[in-house]
Structures are given as structure tokens and as C-alpha cells.
Amino acid sequence: MVLKHHIYNYIAGISLSLVCLGAFGQENAPPAPDLGQLHGNFEITAQYYNEDSLIGAPDFPERVGANAFLNLIYVKGNFESGVRFESYEPVLQGYPTNFEGSGVGLRYARYRKDELDITAGHFYEQFGSGLILRTYEERALGVDNAIDGIRVKYKPFRGVYLTGLMGKQRFRFENRVQNGDGRVRGFDAELNINELIPSLAESRTQMTVGGSFVSKFQADRDPLLVLPENVSSYGGRFSLTRGKFSFLGEYAYKINDPSADNNFIFKDGQAVFVSGSYSKKGLGITLAAKTIDNMSFRSDRSETVNNLTINYLPALTRQHTYNLAATLYPYATQPTGEVGYQADLIYKIPKKTYFGGRYGTTVSINYSGVNSLDTTQIPENNVSDSLKTLQGYTTNFFSLGSQTFFKDFNIEVTRKLSKKTKITASYVNFVFNNDVVKLSPNKGTFFTDIAILDVTYKIRPKHTLRVEAQHLWINSVPTKVDSTNLNVLSEGELGETISAERDNGDWAAAIVEYTFSPHWIVSVIDQYNYNNNNKDLRIHYVTGSVVYVNKGTRIMLSYGRQRAGVFCVGGVCRNVPASNGLTLSLTSSF
Amino acid sequence: MKRFFLFFIAFAFVSLVGCDDVDYPKRTDTEQRTDPGSGGGNVNTTVTKILIEDFTGPGCQGCPAAAVRAEELKGLYGDQLVVVGIHAGYFASPPGNPHVGFDFSTPDGEEYTKLETPLTEFPSGYVNRRERNGSIILKFGAWGGFIEDFRFEAPSMSIDLNVSYTDGDRKVDITTTTTALQDIPNATNLVVYLVEDNIESPQTFPNNVTQNDYLQRHVMREVVTNTWGEPLFTTAATIGESVDKEFNFTIPNDWNVDNMTVIAYVRDTDSEVILQVEEVYVK
């Protein structure tokens, strides 16, 4: 009711502003008073669905699904206010299904004066790298965990940045946004040492330190367990840059937080992230490592998948862009426990050298690995644990467990051959433990090799043709388990072998894209699962699309097939059905 | 400026106080909260009973944990709680359920997954199809706390459920007398399930590990009425009004009658809330 009241007031305010703007626009009067600015953006994706039993695309009785968003932001002086209308009539297939109807999905008012910045309503915030708090919107995945409440930012001194917040998180949408059960309270302080100490202002060494605290409250009505109603977490971080070197480090701790993610154990959680890099012209090296132990943090302990997450545990693996490498086996952080590391090197071989060629050559090499955390399960018959403390397991923090979750070695070479031709060749090797990450129903750890060739040819000014050819080879090995307690065994240990399958077999993909700048892009992509073990599923997933861009507006029309997939977080999974149909998307900003 | 700085210190302090370290997580008052009832062939309801519809499947890694939680709650609430495992959705049938020959899904179960917004996350459940935070879909960790919110409510219906079974023709006869204990403003339907407990089947666990001798609990085998039930009171019901119903069903040979129960529940056709539920063994 209160929300409705606010919305009506808001709409009335905006309408009044528009009327006023129109009125003033027609007069030849003295300089108009500052009425502020209204800007925003609009996005709609609509899809017409065909039933396609071959790829398993289900019948969709309503035929058409559409997600639409309109953001309106009004700014006047120190004041800013925004509202987002959302519409899911009905929601697109593959999106979380708890989005339905049309209405207001976000609204806020913000006031900034001098060193003070106050937001009331919905806001997005991140403390450090997000290990204990990050709220964000990832529209493509249906993730939006904005906090609805109050945020205050304040700079009491030069170089001191303080943020305090409290509120509830956005959970679902049914004609209006609905918040989750728990409350989130947080505080963050960041000190920029070089700003704080004037004598260091010009120093070659730049340093910031920060600390944050986040607590959530959720009532405990559980009849079986004494659940903590207030769960707190805190973290510290630093960043140091000197010349070509920079270092980052962050540590986070969370007290007992029994949840569906950790199967209601009362163990505490920890996370560490460290990174060091060196960069100079033509060369960049980054080394990073992280460990996560029981760090899933949500404002509702019973929730799963992407719902009501308070923190964000970044994946320390390369985000691929080429189709087969990006879409078939993407790795997702396992919030219950993992140890990851990554090394990244980019080197530009100078032009007019033997290896660099006439225009220079860029080589990028990346390696990352993620293992289980080294843990020891406390047996269920351990009376002191199962009846009293419910710790679940013990761990050697930051030590690698025997199970490989994911490995990625990839190398990419980009070279301009002539004024008209640029070529990128890429090789990607994944080790993907599907038994843990569970992207497909098939068992085993998959070993894939992917080769990619990307050629861009400028036919004449404004006309560019780009062709990609990709191939993926796959093999798999089974996981071994102890048949008595079903624990996973490491290599060399004796146990029962779970069968392994080559998932969907080998794939080939080709893309042809023609760009007639600045307005038109026409492309066709074919993902061909030519080596599927099931001959009936040796299918071409072909999609053709036409894109028109004009200033702030982009319209895309595409038609084709999309594979089915499974999306899992922490052992809880959501399936994304296959689809076949026509998609229209329009984005526009003003 | 000083004022604001003080405000921030206060803010930080408020945040810092929120911290509950639990030393002994298990409740000590978890003795059964209701009389377990006499069992056998006849039960008459006197309290608001609770139905957990646990949506599950043999391919669902996280689902055994939900089944364990349901049994823990059953141990606590005794006959006041009725649990049914509805095999439906992606992990109940191929390809999400890779265990060939162990697909316990039914068209009725699939319909129940679409009651609110189609279920795509498993395990999930409904608790009397009541809304918590605007949704009837509850993850298993929330079941217990939610039951505590309404289990003391006075019942609006009673179901007198009688079941008799003849061995020779494997026929089960079901009679119900449903009585309004309060005035009920909406139309109500009676739905009857046949449920088989402890069906041995493979089940996928976390890490994709399969346990071959897993016992599937309280599997919904058949909806004896139609999916959404037979009309009881077609408009409203006044206190004291009652309706008798009779159903019968022949149990297939490969279902273990010794492990079977009949579940009967009354659903409010307007709000979809389950007003009352009852369960009785077939034999």
C-alpha cells in the first residue's frame, strides 16, 4: 500500500515534469529555470516459440514470451530519482520462473550534497571484491539482488570513504517486486592512504586499505535446530600499486550460517583472494589465487541457486567469448569450498620483427585451475558432532583437495596480416568435472580440446566480413567412489568406478558475420553436434540474426534453435529448456 | 561534519551487534509434539494437519537431503504431518533422471509443479500450499519454521477417512466423510492420492554419485480422484455441513501394498490452500 502510494507520487512527479518541459519548450521566454533532466533506457526481448521434439523444446501454449524493462532517471541538481518498470508477459523460457506480470521492479531517490550521499529505496552496492557483499543486476541470467532500504555514504575526511546500509533484498516479481525474508545491515570503510596523508600524495606507491562488516537477520522458527538469527561476516582488504607492480589482497570471515547450501552445518566460513600483477607496454602478467570455504551467504538460509545472495564469489577463471568455449562448459564457483589459482600473460611481439610481422602480433596465454578444498568429513556417528556442534567437516584452509573441479589452459594469437585482414587463432583445453559442476546429465570428468580460427576481412570501407570456425573434441574419465560411504576417492585409491560418458560428443561451429557499418550486422551461426553418441541428436543448432543500430537504438531479429542446458549452484540445479523460434529484441536509450 | 561522523560510528555499532554464535545447535525439546495416533484403518481429524508435497526425482542430487528433513519433521510432528514425494519435473524423467526404469512421474504430478510458477528448482515443496513471502514454493530448509507459523490454527475441516482392502482382487475401497468445522466461504474439492513408501531405486547424490538401494519415500503413485479433486461443497460451506464420498481403485501387481497409504485432502478451490489432510494405511 505504502509502495503504491510512493509510485503514484513518483509518476505524478514525472508527468508534471514532462508537462512543464513541454510547456516551456513552446515559449520564447527568458531563460527557463532548471527543471532537471529525464533520461533512461528501454529494452524488450520477445520470443515466439515453436515446439521442437527433436531438441526437446517443449510446447509453449502461450506461443510468445516477452521480458521488457523501462528505466527512467530524473536528475535535478543534487537530487536524483529513478524507477524501473518491468514486464514479464509471460516470462521468457529459461529465465527464473518467479518473474510474472508487469509493474514496478525498482525505485529510489538519491540526494548528494558535499561529502554526503543518501539513497532511499533500491540500490546496488559492493564492498571490496564482493566477498561479503555485492548486490547487482545480471539481466541475462535473471539475477537481481538489489537491496531495498537506506544507504548512506560519507567522506568525513579526505581519503576516508564510509558506507552504511540496511534493507531487505529483492527476491521475486509478481506484478511488483517482492522482497525476501531476511534483513541485511552493512558497513564499509575504505582509506586511501595517499589522499589521507598529504605528504604521500605524489608518492609512486599508491595504497588503499578497507574493512567491512555485514550482518543479516532472519527469524528462527525452526523446530529442529537452534538457528542463528543474526549471522555476521567481516572482511579486510588492501591494494598496493608501485610503478609497474600492483597487489591486491582480501580476506573474509563468516560465523556459523547453517543453510540449504551447506546442508545446515554450523561451521564458520572463510575466503581469501590475492592477486599480483606486472604491466608495461606490450607485456602484462597477472598471478592470482583464492580459496573459499563455506562462504555461501544469503539473506534467506533456505534459498538456493541465485536467489537472495548477499555476497559474490568471483570465478578465478577466464571468461571466454568464442562460442563453443564460452557456452558448453562454463565453470561456476562452488561456494561451499574450492581452491583456485590463475596465471595470465599477454605479450605483444613488436611489429616489423621476425615473429611480430609487419603489424605486430599479440600472444595471450592463460592457465587456471580449481580444486576441491582439502577437507575431512566428520563421520555421522561422531556423537559429539552430530548431536551437538554439527560442524560437518574440518579443513586445512588453502590446501588443495584431491578432486579437480576445473582446469583451463588457453592460448590466443592475434595478428594483423595486412591492412585488410586480421586473424586470431586460439586453442583452449578444459578439464571439467561434471560430477561436481553438473552442467549436463552425463557423468564423469570431461577433457576437451577446442580450436578456433577467427578471420576478419575488410572488403572495403564500412564493409567487413568476419568468419569463425571452431571445433571441440571431448573425452571423459570416470570418478571413483568408495562404495560404502559414497565419498569420492582420489587417483590410486581403490573403489567403485562410476561410468563416464563423452557427454554430447564432438562439436563443430561456424559463424559468418557481415557488418555494414554503422547500421547493419547480419550473421549466421551453426553449432553442429555431429558426433553425438545418439545419432538422432546429431543436430545443427542454426541461428540467423539481423541487427540494426542507429544512435542509441539497437534492434535485433533472430531465428533459430537453442540447446537445452542445466544451470547449477551448490548441487541445486535449474534446467533451461531447449527452444526453437523467432526472437526480437530492441534496446534504446535516451 | 562531526555529527555525521558520530552517526556513522553509531551505524557501525548497530551493525556489529548482530552476531549469534550457536554452541549447541540441536533443540533439546524435540520430543514428538502430538500424539502419534492409533494407526490402522480409521482416523478422524481434530487438528489442522499439514501436507508437505516434496517435489523430487531420482536424478536430483539435492533431493535426498530434503527427504531426510521431511522425515525429521515427521518424527517431530507425528501424525499431524503428512509427507508425499511427488516425482515430477526435469530430474524425474530422462534425461534429467538417468536411471532407466525408475521414472515415478505422473501427469498429475507434472500438473502440480505448475500450480504457481512452473517449478524448475529442485528440491522444492509446498506446505499446505500456503504462501510464505508471496509464494507457495518453499525450499526444504524453510518447511519446519513455516509449519510452526500455523500449526496451532483451529481446523476448518475434518476428514473421516476409512480404507478397506481385499487381497484377492487387490481392490482398495475408500470412503470419506468431510465435515466443515467452521464456515468456509469458498468452494472446496477433495483429492485422494495413493502413495507407496520405501520404493527401492537408484538415486543420484551430490558429486553425481549413485546409490542403487536408495529408498524413495512416500511416492505418489496415483491420484484416485481427478487431478484437482472431486467437488465437496460447490459454493460455500456452513459449520456442521458434511459430505460423504466413495472411491475405489485396483492396485497394480508391482506395487507393494504393505507399504501403501491413502492420503485425502481438502483444497480451497479459490485460494488453493489445503485446509485439511489425512493419511491411512491401505493394509
State the SS3 of A428-440. EEEEEEHHHHCCC
Please report residues of A whose CB lies closer than 8 A to that of B122. Answer: 572-573
One domain for residues A263 and A300: yes
B81 with B74: CB under 8 angstroms? yes
H/E element holding B108?
helix B107-113
Would you say residue A320 lies in a domain? no
Closest CB to A172: pick one of B135, B144, B147.
B135
SS3 of A521, please? strand
- Second-level CATH architecture of B41-281: Sandwich (2.60)
So what's the pLDDT on residue B255?
96
* pLDDT band (50, 70, 90) for residue A28: low
A97 touches chain B (CB under 8 A): yes
Cα radius of gyration rounded to whole Å, chain B: 21
Which residue bears the cell 555476497?
A311
**Closest chain B C-alpha to A38 CA, distance in angstroms:** 31
Is the CB of B126 inside 8 Å of chain A's CB atoms? no
In a domain, A83, yes or no: no
Q: Closest Cα partner for A110 from A100, A122, A96, A128?
A: A122
Q: Does A481 touch chain B (CB under 8 A)?
A: yes
- For residue A339, is pLDDT > 60? yes
> What's the confidence (pLDDT) of residue B68?
93
The reported pLDDT for the residue numbered A398 is 76
In terms of CA atoms, which chain A residue is nearest residue B134? A178
Q: Which of A49-53, A203-207, A268-272, A435-439 is predicted with the least confidence, judged by mean pLDDT?
A: A435-439
pLDDT in tens, A52-61: 888 878 788 8
pLDDT at A108 over 80: yes
Residue A71 lies inside a defined structural domain of this protein? no
d(CA A177, CA A322): 35
Residue A260 to residue A242: CA distance in whole angstroms: 44
CA neighbor of A110 nearest in space, from A97, A99, A124, A100: A124
A165 part of a folded domain = yes
pLDDT at A12: 42
Are A306 and A335 members of one domain?
Answer: no
Q: Give yes or no: residues A419 and A526 share one domain.
A: yes
- Whether chain A has a CB inside 8 Å of the CB on B27: the answer is yes
Distance from CA of A565 to the nearest CA of B (A): 10
Q: Quote the pLDDT of residue B41.
A: 43
User: What's the pLDDT at A85?
Assistant: 97
Q: Smallest Cα–Cα separation from A145: which of A136, A156, A154, A155?
A: A136
CA distance to partner chain A, nearest, from residue B38 (Å): 24
For residue A215, being part of any structural domain is answered with yes
pLDDT for position A15: 42
Q: Is there a single domain that holds both residue A143 and residue A279? A: yes
In a domain, residue A423? The reply is yes
- For residue A251, the cross-strand partners are A236, A272
Neighbouring C-beta atoms of residue B147, cutoff 10 Å: 23
pLDDT at B31: 52
Q: Is A383 on the interface with B (CB under 8 A)?
A: no
Cross-chain residue pair A479–B207, CB shorter than 8 Å: yes
To the nearest whole number, what is the mean pLDDT of chain B?
A: 88
Assigned C-alpha cell, A330: 562454463
Q: What is the pLDDT of residue A415?
A: 96
B20 touches chain A (CB under 8 A): yes
Residue B201: partners with Cβ closer than 8 Å, 6 or more residues away: B58, B99, B102, B104, B214, B216
Q: How far apart are CA A541 and CA A528, in angstroms?
A: 6
Which pLDDT value is given to residue A392?
Answer: 86
> Helix, strand, coil proportions of chain A in percent (round to 5)?
10, 55, 35
Mean pLDDT, chain A, whole residue set: 88
List, as ranges, residues 234-273 from B with C-beta within 8 Å of A.
none
Q: Confirm whether A548 is domain-assigned.
A: no
Residues A390 and A534 in one domain: yes
Cell readout for A56 is 526437446
Phi, psi angle pair for A448, to nearest 5°:
-125, 145
Distance of CA A55 to the CA centre of its chain: 27
Cis, peptide link before residue B95, omega less than 30° from 0: yes
pLDDT, position A389: 73
Shortest distance between the Cα of A536 and any Cα of chain B, in A, equals 14
Q: Is the pLDDT of residue A14 over 60?
A: no
C-alpha cell at B191: 483429492
Give the whole-angstrom CA distance, residue A169 versus residue A171.
6
For the cut 50, the answer to whether the pLDDT of residue B42 exceeds it is: no
What's the 3-state SS for A122-150?
A: EECCECCCCCCCECCEEHHHCEECCEEEE
The answer, yes or no, to whether residue A567 has pLDDT greater than 60, is no
> How many residue pairs bridge chain A and chain B with CB atoms within 8 Å of each other?
201
Residues A215 and A274 placed together within one structural domain of the fold: yes
Q: All 3 cell numbers of residue A123?
A: 540500490
Q: What does the pLDDT read at residue A284? A: 97
Q: What is the DSSP letter of A228?
A: -
The residues in A 126-165 lying below 8 A from B, measured between CB atoms, are 152, 154, 156, 162, 164
Please tell me the distance in Å from A531's CA to the nearest CA on chain B. Answer: 18
A417, A472: one domain: yes
Q: Using pLDDT thresholds of 50, 70 and 90, give the confidence band for residue B16.
A: low
According to DSSP, the β-strands at A579-589 and A572-576 are unpaired
CA distance B6 to B2: 6
Cell digits of residue B76: 517431530
Task: Please give the pLDDT value at position A458.
Answer: 96
Pairing mode, if any, of strands A421-433 and A393-416? antiparallel
Predicted confidence band of residue A571 (pLDDT cuts 50, 70, 90): very low
Element (H, E) at A374: strand A361-377
CA A174, A175, A177, A180 torsion-angle sign: negative
Cis peptide upstream of residue A198 (ω within 30 degrees of 0): no
The values of phi and psi at residue B15, to 5°, are -65, -40
Provide the grid cell at A504.
554430447
- Cα separation values, B228 from B54, B237, B274, Å: 17, 19, 12
pLDDT at A242 over 60: yes
Give the C-alpha separation, A197 to A207, whole Å.
11
Weakest-pLDDT range from A246-250, A278-282, B10-14, B232-236: B10-14
Question: In angstroms, rounded to a whole number, what is the distance separating the alpha carbons of residues B208 and B214?
Answer: 14
| pLDDT score recorded for residue A350 | 94
Task: Report yes or no: A434 at the B interface, CB cutoff 8 Å.
Answer: yes
Flag whether A398 is in a domain: yes
Is B73's pLDDT higher than 50? yes
Domain boundary among A280, A314, A348: A314
Ranked by mean pLDDT, which of A2-16, A404-418, A552-566 comes out on top?
A404-418
- Kindly indicate whether the ipTM for this predicted assembly is greater than 0.90, answering yes or no: no
Percentage with pLDDT > 70 across chain A:
88
pLDDT reported for residue B59: 93
Probe site for chain B from A224, A483, A568 (most B CB atoms < 10 A): A224
Average pLDDT over residues B6-19: 61
C-alpha–C-alpha distance, residues A566 and A577, integer Å = 8
Q: CA B33, CA B72: separation in Å to the nearest integer?
A: 12
Pairwise CB contact (< 8 Å): A97 & B120: yes
Instruction: pLDDT band for B11, please (50, 70, 90 cuts).
Output: low
pLDDT surpassing 70 at residue A118: yes
How many Å lie between the alpha carbon of B275 and the closest alpha carbon of chain A?
A: 22
At A176 the pLDDT is 93
Say if residue A435's pLDDT is above 50. Answer: yes
Answer yes or no: do A277 and A360 share one domain. Answer: no
CB nearest to B90's CB, from A178, A185, A575: A575
Residue A163: count other Cβ atoms within 10 Å of its Cβ.
Answer: 21
- Per-residue pLDDT, averaged over A369-398, amounts to 79
What CA dihedral angle connects A116, A122, A127 and A132, to 10 degrees?
A: 140
Q: Is pLDDT larger for residue A199 or for residue A397? A: A199
Pairwise CA distance, residues A217 & A182, whole Å: 5
Q: What sign has the CA pseudo-torsion B224, B229, B234, B236?
A: positive
Q: Does the beta-carbon distance from B30 to A226 stay under 8 Å?
A: no
Residue at a domain's end among A314, A349, A376 = A314
Q: Are B258 and B211 in contact (CB under 8 A)?
A: no
Length of chain A: 590
Mean pLDDT of A257-267: 92
Chain A hits for B74, Cβ within 8 Å: none
Domain residue limits at A204: 114-314
With a cut of 50, say whether residue B240 has pLDDT above it.
yes
**Is the pLDDT score of A376 beyond 90?**
no
Sign of CA pseudo-dihedral A249, A255, A256, A261: negative
- For the segment A257-276, the average pLDDT, to the nearest whole number, is 93
What SS3 class is residue B142?
Answer: helix
pLDDT at A231 over 60: yes
Q: What is the pLDDT of residue A331?
A: 87
Residue pair A70/A590 in contact by the 8 Å Cβ criterion: no
| Best CA proximity match to A432, nearest among A527, A508, A507, A500 | A500
State residue B32's pLDDT score: 53
B244, amino acid identity? D
With beta carbons under 8 A apart, name residues in chain B contacting A226: 22, 24-27
Which SS3 state, helix, strand or coil, does residue B6 take?
helix
Q: How many whole angstroms separate alpha carbon A410 and alpha carbon A257?
A: 37
Give the whole-angstrom CA distance, residue A446 versus residue B53. Answer: 36
Whether residue A306 is found in the same domain as residue A359: no
Distance CA A144, CA A553 (A): 24
Contacts of B25 in chain A (CB under 8 A): 225-227, 256, 258, 266, 388-390
Q: Which letter does DSSP use for residue A379 in this model?
A: P
**Cβ-based neighbour number of residue A189 at 10 Å:** 18
**Cβ atoms of residues A99 and A138 within 8 Å:** no
pLDDT, one tens digit per residue, over A282-303 is 999 999 999 999 999 999 999 9
First to last CA, chain A: 31
pLDDT average, residue stretch A178-196 = 95
Calpha distance A155→B4 (Å, rounded) = 9
Question: Is residue A284 domain-shared with residue A393, that is, in the same domain?
Answer: no
Determine the residue among B9, B22, B114 to mutate to test chain A binding: the one whose Cβ has the most chain A Cβ atoms within 10 Å: B22
Q: Kindly determine whether residue B1 and residue A181, on different chains, have CB atoms separated by under 8 Å.
A: no
Selecting from A162, A180, A388 the residue whose C-beta is nearest the C-beta of B133 gives: A180
Cα-based distances in Å from A434 to A145, A306, A425, A521, A566: 28, 19, 27, 36, 11
Both A233 and A354 in a single domain? no
Q: How far apart are CA B259 and CA A266, in angstroms?
A: 36
Both A363 and A464 in a single domain? yes
The three cell numbers of residue A417 are: 596480416
CATH number at residue A221: 2.40.160.10
> Band of the pLDDT at B121, cuts 50, 70, 90?
confident
Residue A384 pLDDT grade (very low, low, confident, very high; cuts 50, 70, 90): low
Q: How many domains does chain A have?
A: 2
Residues, chain B: 283
Compare CB distances from B145 to A179, A217, A221 and report the shortest one's residue.
A221
Judged by a CB distance cut-off of 8 A, whether residue A393 touches chain B is no
Least confident of A224-233, A379-388, A424-433, B70-79: A379-388
Using the Cβ of B19 and the Cβ atoms of chain A, whether some distance falls under 8 Å is answered with yes
